[in-house]
Amino acid sequence: MIATLTGIVRYKTPGAVILDVAGVGYELAISSRTYDSLPAIEEEAFLHVYTNVREDSITLFGFEYIEEKQLFLLLVGVSGIGPKLGLAILSGLNGKELRDAIMLKDYSRLTALPGVGKKTAQRLCMELGEKIGGLQVEDSGSVQATPVSGTNESAVMHDAVSALVNLGYHQNIAWQALRRVYNQNCQEGDAVSVEELIRLSLQGLAQQ
What stretch(es) of the chain map to CATH 2.40.50.140? Answer: 4-63
Question: Using one digit for the tens of pLDDT, what is the confidence trace for 33-92?
Answer: 899 889 999 999 999 999 988 888 889 999 988 888 999 999 999 988 999 999 999 988
What stretch(es) of the chain map to CATH 1.10.150.20? Answer: 75-143
Which residues contact residue 64 at a Cβ distance below 8 angstroms, ignoring those fewer than 6 apart? Answer: 33, 34, 37, 38, 46, 47, 48, 141, 142
- The chain-wide mean pLDDT, for the chain, equals 82
CB distance 154 to 108 below 8 Å: yes
**4-63 homologous superfamily:** Nucleic acid-binding proteins (2.40.50.140)
Question: Using one digit for the tens of pLDDT, what is the confidence trace for 175-190?
Answer: 778 777 777 766 545 5
In CATH, the number for domain 151-206 is 1.10.8
Q: How far apart are the two ends of the chain, measured CA to CA in Å?
A: 36
Phi-psi region of 115 (alpha: psi -120 to 50; beta: other; left: phi over 0): left
Q: How many CB atoms lie within 10 A of CB 181?
A: 23
What stretch(es) of the chain map to CATH 1.10.8? Answer: 151-206
pLDDT at 179: 75
At position 165, the amino acid (one-letter code) is V
pLDDT at 151: 43
Calculate what percentage of the chain has a pLDDT beyond 70.
Answer: 83
CATH architecture observed for domain 75-143:
Orthogonal Bundle (1.10)
Confidence of residue 207 (pLDDT cuts 50, 70, 90): confident
Query: For the residues 90-107, what does the mean pLDDT come to?
Result: 86
Asked whether the predicted pLDDT for residue 144 surpasses 50, the reply is: no
